[in-house]
Chains A and B, each alone.
Chain A
Amino acid sequence: MSFWLTVFRQVGRNLRQTWGSQLMTLLTVSLSVLIFAFFYLIYANMLTLGDKLGDDLSLIVYLEEEPGPELQQQLRNKILTFDEVEEIRFISRAEAYERFAKQLGQNQDVLNDMPKDFLPPSIEVIPMKNLRSLNQVKLFSTYLSRLPGTLKVQYGQDWVERFYYFTKLLSIIVLLSGTLLILTTIFMVAYTIRLTIHGRQAELELLKLVGATNNYIRTPFLLEGLLQGAIGSFLGIFSLYMLFQWIKLRFSGPSFLNLFEFSFFAPEVSFTIITVSILLCTLGSYSTMQKFLRI
Protein backbone atom coordinates (compact mmCIF):
# COMPACT_ATOMS: atom_id res chain seq x y z
CA MET A 1 0.00 0.00 0.00
CA SER A 2 1.40 3.40 -0.89
CA PHE A 3 2.26 5.98 1.73
CA TRP A 4 -0.39 8.44 0.60
CA LEU A 5 -3.13 5.85 0.39
CA THR A 6 -2.37 4.84 3.97
CA VAL A 7 -2.29 8.46 5.07
CA PHE A 8 -5.65 9.23 3.45
CA ARG A 9 -7.17 6.16 5.11
CA GLN A 10 -5.89 7.39 8.45
CA VAL A 11 -7.30 10.87 7.81
CA GLY A 12 -10.67 9.38 6.87
CA ARG A 13 -10.64 7.30 10.05
CA ASN A 14 -9.75 10.33 12.21
CA LEU A 15 -12.50 12.41 10.64
CA ARG A 16 -15.04 9.67 11.23
CA GLN A 17 -14.01 9.19 14.84
CA THR A 18 -13.95 12.88 15.80
CA TRP A 19 -16.51 14.28 13.39
CA GLY A 20 -18.22 16.40 16.04
CA SER A 21 -15.18 18.45 16.98
CA GLN A 22 -14.03 18.49 13.35
CA LEU A 23 -17.35 20.02 12.32
CA MET A 24 -17.11 22.66 15.04
CA THR A 25 -13.61 23.59 13.89
CA LEU A 26 -14.74 23.77 10.30
CA LEU A 27 -17.59 26.09 11.24
CA THR A 28 -15.27 28.28 13.30
CA VAL A 29 -12.74 28.55 10.49
CA SER A 30 -15.54 29.34 7.99
CA LEU A 31 -17.04 31.96 10.27
CA SER A 32 -13.67 33.61 10.98
CA VAL A 33 -12.89 33.77 7.27
CA LEU A 34 -16.39 35.07 6.55
CA ILE A 35 -16.11 37.85 9.16
CA PHE A 36 -12.66 38.89 8.02
CA ALA A 37 -13.48 38.70 4.31
CA PHE A 38 -16.72 40.64 4.85
CA PHE A 39 -14.95 43.62 6.37
CA TYR A 40 -12.09 43.37 3.96
CA LEU A 41 -14.53 43.40 1.07
CA ILE A 42 -16.14 46.59 2.38
CA TYR A 43 -12.71 48.12 2.95
CA ALA A 44 -11.52 47.21 -0.55
CA ASN A 45 -14.67 48.70 -2.07
CA MET A 46 -14.25 51.84 0.02
CA LEU A 47 -10.74 52.22 -1.38
CA THR A 48 -12.12 51.98 -4.90
CA LEU A 49 -14.83 54.44 -3.98
CA GLY A 50 -12.21 56.78 -2.54
CA ASP A 51 -10.31 56.66 -5.81
CA LYS A 52 -13.46 57.52 -7.72
CA LEU A 53 -14.44 60.38 -5.42
CA GLY A 54 -10.89 61.63 -5.62
CA ASP A 55 -11.43 62.16 -9.34
CA ASP A 56 -13.77 65.09 -8.60
CA LEU A 57 -11.76 66.51 -5.77
CA SER A 58 -9.84 69.72 -6.15
CA LEU A 59 -8.55 72.35 -3.77
CA ILE A 60 -9.16 75.93 -4.74
CA VAL A 61 -6.68 78.42 -3.30
CA TYR A 62 -8.00 82.00 -3.56
CA LEU A 63 -5.24 84.55 -3.89
CA GLU A 64 -5.10 88.23 -2.98
CA GLU A 65 -3.45 89.24 -6.23
CA GLU A 66 -2.81 87.72 -9.58
CA PRO A 67 0.65 86.13 -9.52
CA GLY A 68 3.14 86.97 -12.23
CA PRO A 69 4.98 84.17 -14.10
CA GLU A 70 7.83 84.12 -11.62
CA LEU A 71 5.54 83.96 -8.58
CA GLN A 72 3.48 81.30 -10.34
CA GLN A 73 6.60 79.15 -10.65
CA GLN A 74 7.48 79.75 -7.00
CA LEU A 75 3.98 78.79 -5.86
CA ARG A 76 4.06 75.71 -8.07
CA ASN A 77 7.36 74.64 -6.46
CA LYS A 78 5.96 75.24 -2.98
CA ILE A 79 2.89 73.11 -3.70
CA LEU A 80 5.00 70.29 -5.12
CA THR A 81 7.21 70.39 -2.04
CA PHE A 82 4.25 69.15 0.01
CA ASP A 83 3.12 66.31 -2.25
CA GLU A 84 2.88 65.21 -5.80
CA VAL A 85 -0.29 66.45 -7.45
CA GLU A 86 -2.18 65.59 -10.57
CA GLU A 87 -2.45 69.14 -11.86
CA ILE A 88 -1.95 72.79 -10.85
CA ARG A 89 -3.97 75.40 -12.75
CA PHE A 90 -3.72 79.15 -12.29
CA ILE A 91 -7.02 80.96 -12.84
CA SER A 92 -6.82 84.69 -13.52
CA ARG A 93 -9.56 87.15 -12.53
CA ALA A 94 -10.71 87.28 -16.16
CA GLU A 95 -10.86 83.49 -16.48
CA ALA A 96 -12.78 83.30 -13.21
CA TYR A 97 -15.28 85.83 -14.52
CA GLU A 98 -15.71 83.90 -17.79
CA ARG A 99 -16.25 80.63 -15.96
CA PHE A 100 -18.80 82.21 -13.65
CA ALA A 101 -20.63 83.74 -16.55
CA LYS A 102 -20.69 80.40 -18.32
CA GLN A 103 -22.05 78.73 -15.22
CA LEU A 104 -24.84 81.29 -15.00
CA GLY A 105 -25.82 80.51 -18.58
CA GLN A 106 -28.94 82.46 -19.55
CA ASN A 107 -28.79 84.46 -16.32
CA GLN A 108 -25.37 85.90 -17.03
CA ASP A 109 -26.86 89.35 -17.59
CA VAL A 110 -26.83 89.75 -13.79
CA LEU A 111 -23.12 90.32 -14.21
CA ASN A 112 -23.58 93.24 -16.58
CA ASP A 113 -23.13 95.83 -13.88
CA MET A 114 -20.25 94.08 -12.25
CA PRO A 115 -16.61 94.84 -13.02
CA LYS A 116 -14.80 92.06 -14.83
CA ASP A 117 -12.18 91.74 -12.12
CA PHE A 118 -14.43 91.43 -9.09
CA LEU A 119 -13.59 87.73 -8.62
CA PRO A 120 -10.30 86.85 -6.95
CA PRO A 121 -7.61 84.98 -8.87
CA SER A 122 -7.08 81.38 -7.74
CA ILE A 123 -5.04 78.20 -8.05
CA GLU A 124 -6.81 74.90 -8.70
CA VAL A 125 -4.86 72.04 -7.18
CA ILE A 126 -5.99 68.56 -8.23
CA PRO A 127 -4.49 65.96 -5.87
CA MET A 128 -3.32 62.52 -7.02
CA LYS A 129 -6.18 60.05 -7.39
CA ASN A 130 -5.41 57.77 -4.49
CA LEU A 131 -6.66 57.33 -0.99
CA ARG A 132 -3.47 58.56 0.64
CA SER A 133 -3.80 61.88 -1.10
CA LEU A 134 -7.46 61.97 -0.20
CA ASN A 135 -6.66 61.44 3.43
CA GLN A 136 -3.97 64.10 3.28
CA VAL A 137 -6.29 66.72 1.84
CA LYS A 138 -6.88 68.36 5.21
CA LEU A 139 -3.15 68.72 5.84
CA PHE A 140 -2.69 69.87 2.27
CA SER A 141 -5.37 72.51 2.71
CA THR A 142 -3.72 73.83 5.88
CA TYR A 143 -0.39 73.92 4.06
CA LEU A 144 -1.87 75.81 1.11
CA SER A 145 -3.62 78.32 3.36
CA ARG A 146 -0.22 79.31 4.73
CA LEU A 147 1.19 80.11 1.32
CA PRO A 148 1.93 83.83 0.92
CA GLY A 149 -0.91 85.83 -0.63
CA THR A 150 -3.59 83.18 0.11
CA LEU A 151 -7.04 84.39 1.03
CA LYS A 152 -8.62 81.03 1.72
CA VAL A 153 -8.71 77.40 0.58
CA GLN A 154 -11.87 75.54 -0.36
CA TYR A 155 -12.60 71.86 -0.87
CA GLY A 156 -15.35 69.38 0.05
CA GLN A 157 -14.12 69.40 3.63
CA ASP A 158 -17.06 67.69 5.31
CA TRP A 159 -17.33 64.58 3.20
CA VAL A 160 -13.58 64.20 2.87
CA GLU A 161 -13.23 64.14 6.65
CA ARG A 162 -16.13 61.77 7.12
CA PHE A 163 -14.79 59.50 4.46
CA TYR A 164 -11.34 59.60 6.03
CA TYR A 165 -12.66 58.56 9.46
CA PHE A 166 -14.85 55.88 7.95
CA THR A 167 -11.98 54.25 6.04
CA LYS A 168 -9.78 54.53 9.14
CA LEU A 169 -12.45 52.75 11.21
CA LEU A 170 -12.77 50.10 8.53
CA SER A 171 -9.04 49.51 8.42
CA ILE A 172 -9.09 48.97 12.22
CA ILE A 173 -11.99 46.52 11.89
CA VAL A 174 -10.17 44.67 9.11
CA LEU A 175 -7.06 44.49 11.29
CA LEU A 176 -9.05 43.24 14.28
CA SER A 177 -11.01 40.69 12.31
CA GLY A 178 -7.76 39.56 10.67
CA THR A 179 -6.22 39.02 14.09
CA LEU A 180 -9.38 37.22 15.18
CA LEU A 181 -9.12 34.99 12.13
CA ILE A 182 -5.51 34.13 12.89
CA LEU A 183 -6.11 33.44 16.57
CA THR A 184 -9.32 31.45 16.21
CA THR A 185 -8.12 29.28 13.36
CA ILE A 186 -4.82 28.45 15.02
CA PHE A 187 -6.46 27.86 18.39
CA MET A 188 -9.40 25.81 17.14
CA VAL A 189 -7.36 23.63 14.84
CA ALA A 190 -4.72 23.13 17.51
CA TYR A 191 -7.42 22.22 20.03
CA THR A 192 -9.12 19.74 17.71
CA ILE A 193 -5.86 18.06 16.80
CA ARG A 194 -5.01 17.91 20.49
CA LEU A 195 -8.34 16.20 21.18
CA THR A 196 -7.68 13.75 18.37
CA ILE A 197 -4.19 13.02 19.69
CA HIS A 198 -5.55 12.41 23.20
CA GLY A 199 -8.35 10.26 21.85
CA ARG A 200 -5.92 8.15 19.87
CA GLN A 201 -3.11 7.95 22.42
CA ALA A 202 -3.24 4.15 22.60
CA GLU A 203 -3.20 3.79 18.85
CA LEU A 204 -0.34 6.25 18.42
CA GLU A 205 1.71 4.42 21.02
CA LEU A 206 1.03 1.13 19.26
CA LEU A 207 1.89 2.61 15.88
CA LYS A 208 5.27 3.66 17.24
CA LEU A 209 5.88 0.20 18.65
CA VAL A 210 5.06 -1.60 15.42
CA GLY A 211 7.46 0.62 13.51
CA ALA A 212 5.43 3.47 12.06
CA THR A 213 7.70 6.25 10.87
CA ASN A 214 7.30 9.83 12.08
CA ASN A 215 5.83 10.79 8.72
CA TYR A 216 3.33 7.95 8.91
CA ILE A 217 2.06 9.21 12.26
CA ARG A 218 2.32 12.95 11.70
CA THR A 219 1.22 13.44 8.09
CA PRO A 220 -2.46 12.58 8.73
CA PHE A 221 -2.65 15.26 11.46
CA LEU A 222 -1.01 17.85 9.22
CA LEU A 223 -3.37 16.89 6.44
CA GLU A 224 -6.33 17.27 8.79
CA GLY A 225 -5.28 20.84 9.60
CA LEU A 226 -4.73 21.55 5.93
CA LEU A 227 -8.15 20.18 4.99
CA GLN A 228 -9.86 22.20 7.72
CA GLY A 229 -8.14 25.32 6.44
CA ALA A 230 -8.98 24.61 2.81
CA ILE A 231 -12.61 23.56 3.27
CA GLY A 232 -13.31 26.11 6.04
CA SER A 233 -11.91 29.08 4.14
CA PHE A 234 -13.55 27.99 0.89
CA LEU A 235 -16.91 27.79 2.69
CA GLY A 236 -16.31 31.22 4.24
CA ILE A 237 -15.48 32.85 0.91
CA PHE A 238 -18.29 31.03 -0.86
CA SER A 239 -20.82 32.13 1.80
CA LEU A 240 -19.64 35.71 1.42
CA TYR A 241 -19.99 35.47 -2.34
CA MET A 242 -23.55 34.18 -1.99
CA LEU A 243 -24.34 36.93 0.51
CA PHE A 244 -22.83 39.50 -1.84
CA GLN A 245 -24.90 38.23 -4.76
CA TRP A 246 -28.03 38.23 -2.64
CA ILE A 247 -27.48 41.80 -1.48
CA LYS A 248 -26.78 42.92 -5.04
CA LEU A 249 -29.96 41.27 -6.25
CA ARG A 250 -32.05 42.38 -3.29
CA PHE A 251 -30.97 46.01 -3.41
CA SER A 252 -30.77 46.43 -7.16
CA GLY A 253 -32.71 49.46 -8.30
CA PRO A 254 -32.52 53.08 -7.22
CA SER A 255 -30.88 52.70 -3.84
CA PHE A 256 -27.82 53.84 -1.97
CA LEU A 257 -25.81 50.87 -3.19
CA ASN A 258 -26.29 51.89 -6.79
CA LEU A 259 -24.45 55.14 -6.22
CA PHE A 260 -21.25 53.12 -6.15
CA GLU A 261 -20.15 50.13 -8.09
CA PHE A 262 -19.56 47.39 -5.53
CA SER A 263 -17.54 44.43 -6.70
CA PHE A 264 -16.43 41.10 -5.21
CA PHE A 265 -12.80 40.14 -4.65
CA ALA A 266 -10.60 39.41 -7.62
CA PRO A 267 -9.89 35.63 -7.82
CA GLU A 268 -6.29 36.27 -6.66
CA VAL A 269 -7.53 37.87 -3.42
CA SER A 270 -9.88 34.95 -2.67
CA PHE A 271 -7.05 32.56 -3.46
CA THR A 272 -4.71 34.43 -1.11
CA ILE A 273 -7.24 34.34 1.75
CA ILE A 274 -7.71 30.59 1.25
CA THR A 275 -3.96 29.98 1.06
CA VAL A 276 -3.29 31.99 4.23
CA SER A 277 -6.07 30.10 6.05
CA ILE A 278 -4.59 26.78 4.95
CA LEU A 279 -1.18 27.86 6.20
CA LEU A 280 -2.60 29.02 9.53
CA CYS A 281 -4.52 25.78 10.09
CA THR A 282 -1.52 23.66 9.16
CA LEU A 283 0.56 25.77 11.54
CA GLY A 284 -1.99 25.13 14.32
CA SER A 285 -1.84 21.43 13.64
CA TYR A 286 1.96 21.43 13.51
CA SER A 287 2.35 23.36 16.78
CA THR A 288 0.07 20.90 18.60
CA MET A 289 1.99 17.94 17.25
CA GLN A 290 5.25 19.45 18.40
CA LYS A 291 3.78 19.92 21.83
CA PHE A 292 1.71 16.80 22.38
CA LEU A 293 2.86 14.17 19.92
CA ARG A 294 6.10 12.77 21.21
CA ILE A 295 7.55 10.25 18.80
Chain B
Amino acid sequence: MIEMIKVSKEYPPDVVALKDISISIDSGEMFFIIGRSGAGKTTLLKLLCSMEAPSSGLIEISGKPINQLKGHHLARLRQRIGVAYQDFKLLIDRTTAENIAISMEVSYKKPQIIRKRVRDLLEQLDLSDKHDTITGELSRGEQQRVTLARAVANSPTMILVDEPTGNLDAATTEKVMTLLNKCHKGGATIVIATHDDSIYRHTSHRVMELQKGRLHGITGGELP
Protein backbone atom coordinates (compact mmCIF):
# COMPACT_ATOMS: atom_id res chain seq x y z
CA MET B 1 0.00 0.00 0.00
CA ILE B 2 2.58 2.60 1.12
CA GLU B 3 6.21 2.51 0.13
CA MET B 4 8.69 5.12 1.27
CA ILE B 5 12.23 4.76 0.00
CA LYS B 6 14.96 7.01 1.37
CA VAL B 7 12.59 9.91 1.83
CA SER B 8 13.99 13.17 3.15
CA LYS B 9 12.39 16.51 3.75
CA GLU B 10 14.25 19.71 4.36
CA TYR B 11 12.89 23.19 4.96
CA PRO B 12 14.88 26.26 4.08
CA PRO B 13 17.38 27.37 5.13
CA ASP B 14 18.73 24.11 6.56
CA VAL B 15 16.11 22.42 8.76
CA VAL B 16 16.11 18.67 8.26
CA ALA B 17 12.62 17.44 9.15
CA LEU B 18 13.07 13.88 7.84
CA LYS B 19 16.17 12.04 6.75
CA ASP B 20 16.34 8.84 4.69
CA ILE B 21 13.12 7.25 5.88
CA SER B 22 12.36 3.91 4.28
CA ILE B 23 9.27 1.98 5.32
CA SER B 24 6.57 -0.23 3.82
CA ILE B 25 3.06 -0.19 5.24
CA ASP B 26 0.85 -2.95 4.00
CA SER B 27 -2.73 -2.53 2.89
CA GLY B 28 -5.11 -2.86 5.85
CA GLU B 29 -2.36 -2.38 8.42
CA MET B 30 -2.60 -0.19 11.49
CA PHE B 31 0.67 1.62 11.94
CA PHE B 32 1.84 3.91 14.71
CA ILE B 33 4.42 6.65 14.35
CA ILE B 34 5.76 7.88 17.65
CA GLY B 35 8.33 10.37 18.74
CA ARG B 36 8.74 13.62 20.59
CA SER B 37 7.54 16.92 19.32
CA GLY B 38 9.62 17.92 16.32
CA ALA B 39 10.62 14.34 15.56
CA GLY B 40 9.04 14.55 12.09
CA LYS B 41 5.72 12.71 12.64
CA THR B 42 3.51 15.44 11.17
CA THR B 43 5.90 16.02 8.29
CA LEU B 44 5.77 12.34 7.43
CA LEU B 45 1.96 12.40 7.37
CA LYS B 46 1.98 15.54 5.22
CA LEU B 47 4.22 13.76 2.72
CA LEU B 48 1.93 10.72 2.70
CA CYS B 49 -1.15 12.77 1.85
CA SER B 50 0.86 14.78 -0.71
CA MET B 51 0.20 17.99 1.15
CA GLU B 52 3.92 18.54 0.79
CA ALA B 53 6.51 17.08 -1.56
CA PRO B 54 9.63 15.30 -0.32
CA SER B 55 13.00 16.92 -0.93
CA SER B 56 14.32 13.56 -2.08
CA GLY B 57 13.28 9.90 -2.17
CA LEU B 58 10.26 8.06 -3.47
CA ILE B 59 6.77 7.70 -2.00
CA GLU B 60 4.38 5.26 -3.63
CA ILE B 61 0.79 4.59 -2.70
CA SER B 62 -0.81 1.57 -4.33
CA GLY B 63 2.15 1.48 -6.70
CA LYS B 64 1.81 5.09 -7.83
CA PRO B 65 4.52 7.69 -7.10
CA ILE B 66 2.41 10.37 -5.43
CA ASN B 67 4.75 13.29 -6.00
CA GLN B 68 4.30 12.82 -9.73
CA LEU B 69 0.51 12.79 -9.60
CA LYS B 70 -1.28 15.93 -10.70
CA GLY B 71 -4.73 17.30 -11.35
CA HIS B 72 -7.49 14.76 -11.63
CA HIS B 73 -5.31 11.80 -10.58
CA LEU B 74 -4.07 13.55 -7.46
CA ALA B 75 -7.63 14.55 -6.54
CA ARG B 76 -8.80 10.96 -6.93
CA LEU B 77 -5.98 9.74 -4.70
CA ARG B 78 -6.78 12.34 -2.05
CA GLN B 79 -10.41 11.24 -2.05
CA ARG B 80 -9.17 7.81 -0.99
CA ILE B 81 -7.07 9.23 1.84
CA GLY B 82 -8.76 10.57 4.97
CA VAL B 83 -6.63 12.88 7.06
CA ALA B 84 -7.26 14.13 10.60
CA TYR B 85 -4.91 17.08 10.93
CA GLN B 86 -3.29 18.16 14.14
CA ASP B 87 -4.48 21.72 13.54
CA PHE B 88 -7.94 20.34 12.60
CA LYS B 89 -8.40 22.47 9.46
CA LEU B 90 -12.06 22.99 10.24
CA LEU B 91 -14.19 25.65 8.61
CA ILE B 92 -15.04 27.50 11.77
CA ASP B 93 -17.98 29.37 10.28
CA ARG B 94 -19.73 26.17 9.18
CA THR B 95 -21.69 23.66 11.19
CA THR B 96 -20.31 20.35 12.38
CA ALA B 97 -22.44 18.51 9.83
CA GLU B 98 -21.23 20.71 6.96
CA ASN B 99 -17.62 20.16 7.96
CA ILE B 100 -18.00 16.40 7.95
CA ALA B 101 -20.02 16.39 4.74
CA ILE B 102 -17.37 18.26 2.75
CA SER B 103 -15.20 15.17 2.23
CA MET B 104 -18.18 13.28 0.79
CA GLU B 105 -19.44 16.18 -1.33
CA VAL B 106 -16.23 16.29 -3.35
CA SER B 107 -16.84 12.73 -4.47
CA TYR B 108 -20.46 13.58 -5.33
CA LYS B 109 -22.17 11.33 -2.78
CA LYS B 110 -25.96 11.61 -2.69
CA PRO B 111 -27.33 14.08 -0.09
CA GLN B 112 -29.34 11.42 1.75
CA ILE B 113 -26.27 9.17 2.04
CA ILE B 114 -24.22 12.12 3.31
CA ARG B 115 -26.88 13.03 5.89
CA LYS B 116 -27.07 9.45 7.19
CA ARG B 117 -23.31 9.01 7.36
CA VAL B 118 -22.89 12.32 9.21
CA ARG B 119 -25.50 11.33 11.82
CA ASP B 120 -23.91 7.89 12.30
CA LEU B 121 -20.46 9.35 12.83
CA LEU B 122 -21.68 12.03 15.21
CA GLU B 123 -23.42 9.35 17.24
CA GLN B 124 -20.31 7.18 17.38
CA LEU B 125 -18.22 10.11 18.55
CA ASP B 126 -20.79 11.31 21.06
CA LEU B 127 -21.46 14.55 19.16
CA SER B 128 -25.10 14.05 18.10
CA ASP B 129 -26.20 17.23 19.85
CA LYS B 130 -23.59 19.26 17.95
CA HIS B 131 -24.98 18.52 14.49
CA ASP B 132 -25.92 22.13 13.76
CA THR B 133 -23.36 23.83 15.96
CA ILE B 134 -20.84 26.12 14.30
CA THR B 135 -17.49 24.41 14.77
CA GLY B 136 -15.89 27.64 15.94
CA GLU B 137 -18.06 27.31 19.06
CA LEU B 138 -16.94 23.77 19.88
CA SER B 139 -14.31 22.85 22.46
CA ARG B 140 -10.87 21.65 21.28
CA GLY B 141 -11.78 18.08 22.09
CA GLU B 142 -15.01 18.31 20.12
CA GLN B 143 -13.24 19.92 17.18
CA GLN B 144 -10.72 17.10 17.23
CA ARG B 145 -13.50 14.53 16.98
CA VAL B 146 -15.16 16.43 14.13
CA THR B 147 -11.83 16.35 12.28
CA LEU B 148 -11.63 12.62 12.77
CA ALA B 149 -15.22 12.17 11.64
CA ARG B 150 -14.46 14.11 8.46
CA ALA B 151 -11.37 11.97 7.86
CA VAL B 152 -13.29 8.69 8.00
CA ALA B 153 -16.58 9.91 6.50
CA ASN B 154 -15.82 9.10 2.88
CA SER B 155 -14.79 5.52 3.82
CA PRO B 156 -11.23 6.05 2.59
CA THR B 157 -8.82 3.18 2.01
CA MET B 158 -6.14 5.00 3.98
CA ILE B 159 -6.61 7.10 7.10
CA LEU B 160 -3.84 9.33 8.43
CA VAL B 161 -4.36 10.62 11.94
CA ASP B 162 -2.16 13.21 13.63
CA GLU B 163 -2.33 13.20 17.43
CA PRO B 164 -5.92 11.93 17.62
CA THR B 165 -6.17 12.04 21.38
CA GLY B 166 -4.24 15.19 22.22
CA ASN B 167 -7.23 17.06 23.66
CA LEU B 168 -9.37 14.16 24.83
CA ASP B 169 -10.16 12.53 28.17
CA ALA B 170 -9.80 8.79 28.62
CA ALA B 171 -13.41 7.94 27.80
CA THR B 172 -13.43 9.95 24.59
CA THR B 173 -10.01 8.60 23.62
CA GLU B 174 -11.53 5.14 23.83
CA LYS B 175 -14.39 6.17 21.56
CA VAL B 176 -11.97 7.60 19.02
CA MET B 177 -9.87 4.44 19.07
CA THR B 178 -12.98 2.31 18.74
CA LEU B 179 -13.93 4.24 15.60
CA LEU B 180 -10.43 3.87 14.16
CA ASN B 181 -10.39 0.14 14.96
CA LYS B 182 -13.73 -0.20 13.24
CA CYS B 183 -12.32 1.44 10.09
CA HIS B 184 -9.28 -0.80 10.36
CA LYS B 185 -11.47 -3.88 10.56
CA GLY B 186 -13.33 -2.55 7.53
CA GLY B 187 -10.06 -2.86 5.60
CA ALA B 188 -8.62 0.63 5.79
CA THR B 189 -4.94 1.26 6.30
CA ILE B 190 -4.51 3.42 9.39
CA VAL B 191 -1.43 5.48 10.16
CA ILE B 192 -1.49 7.21 13.54
CA ALA B 193 1.11 9.73 14.61
CA THR B 194 1.06 10.17 18.38
CA HIS B 195 3.08 10.71 21.48
CA ASP B 196 0.26 9.39 23.69
CA ASP B 197 1.66 6.01 24.78
CA SER B 198 -1.71 4.92 26.19
CA ILE B 199 -2.98 4.20 22.69
CA TYR B 200 -0.04 2.13 21.45
CA ARG B 201 1.40 0.70 24.69
CA HIS B 202 -0.38 -2.63 24.46
CA THR B 203 -0.87 -2.72 20.71
CA SER B 204 0.01 -5.68 18.58
CA HIS B 205 0.56 -3.38 15.59
CA ARG B 206 3.87 -2.02 14.37
CA VAL B 207 5.18 1.10 16.00
CA MET B 208 7.84 3.22 14.32
CA GLU B 209 9.82 5.66 16.39
CA LEU B 210 11.26 8.81 14.89
CA GLN B 211 14.03 10.83 16.51
CA LYS B 212 15.09 14.17 15.06
CA GLY B 213 13.76 13.19 11.66
CA ARG B 214 15.47 9.82 11.53
CA LEU B 215 14.03 6.36 11.89
CA HIS B 216 15.03 5.19 15.33
CA GLY B 217 13.39 1.80 15.22
CA ILE B 218 10.32 -0.27 14.44
CA THR B 219 8.90 -2.54 17.09
CA GLY B 220 6.18 -5.15 17.34
CA GLY B 221 3.59 -6.05 14.87
CA GLU B 222 2.65 -8.90 12.73
CA LEU B 223 1.55 -8.04 9.28
CA PRO B 224 -2.14 -8.80 8.91
Contacts and interface: CB of A to CB of B under 8 A. Distances in A.
Given A1-B109, A216-B106, A206 B91 contact: yes
Contacts of A205: 89
A1 B108 contact: yes
B106 A210 contact: yes
Contact of B108 (A2, A206, A210): A2
State which size class the interface on A falls in.
Answer: 10 to 19
Interface in A173-216: 202-203, 205-214, 216
A1 B110 contact: yes
Contacts of A212: 75, 106
Contacts of B110: 1
A6 interface: yes
A210 B51 contact: no
Nearest to B76: A211
B182 to A, nearest CB: 21
B83 interface: yes
A159 interface: no
A6 B105 contact: yes
Contacts of A203: 91
A3 to B, nearest CB: 6
A205 B49 CA distance: 13
Contacts of A2: 108
A148 to B, nearest CB: 77
B78 A202 contact: no
A206 B89 contact: yes
B178 interface: no
A209 B89 contact: yes
Contacts of B154: 210
A202 B79 contact: no
B143 interface: no
A99 B71 CA distance: 84
B72 A210 contact: no
B72 A207 contact: no
Contacts of A213: 71-72, 75, 106
| A205, A213, A216: residue with the most chain B Cβ atoms closer than 10 Å | A213
A203 B91 CA distance: 7
Interface in A1-33: 1-3, 6
Contacts of B78: 208-211
Nearest to B151: A210
A26 B84 CA distance: 40
B24 interface: no
B111 interface: yes
Contact of B79 (A6, A210, A214): A210
B77 interface: yes
Contacts of B83: 209
A165 to B, nearest CB: 57
Interface in A226-275: none
Nearest to A202: B91
B107 interface: yes
Most-contacted residue by chain B among A203, A205, A206, A216 (CB, 10 A): A206
Contacts of B108: 1-3, 6
B108 to A, nearest CB: 5
Contacts of B114: 1
B77 A207 contact: no
Contacts of A208: 78
B103 interface: yes
Given A2-B108, A207-B106, A214 B71 contact: yes
Contact of B75 (A3, A6, A206, A214): A214
B80 to A, nearest CB: 8
B199 interface: no
Interface of B: 49, 51, 71-72, 75-81, 83, 89, 91, 102-103, 105-111, 114, 150, 154
15 contacts: A1-B105, A1-B110, A1-B111, A6-B105, A202-B91, A203-B91, A206-B89, A206-B91, A206-B102, A209-B51, A211-B78, A212-B106, A213-B71, A213-B72, A216-B75
Interface of A: 1-3, 6, 202-203, 205-214, 216
Given A1-B111, A202-B89, 4 more contacts: A6-B108, A210-B154, A211-B76, A213-B71
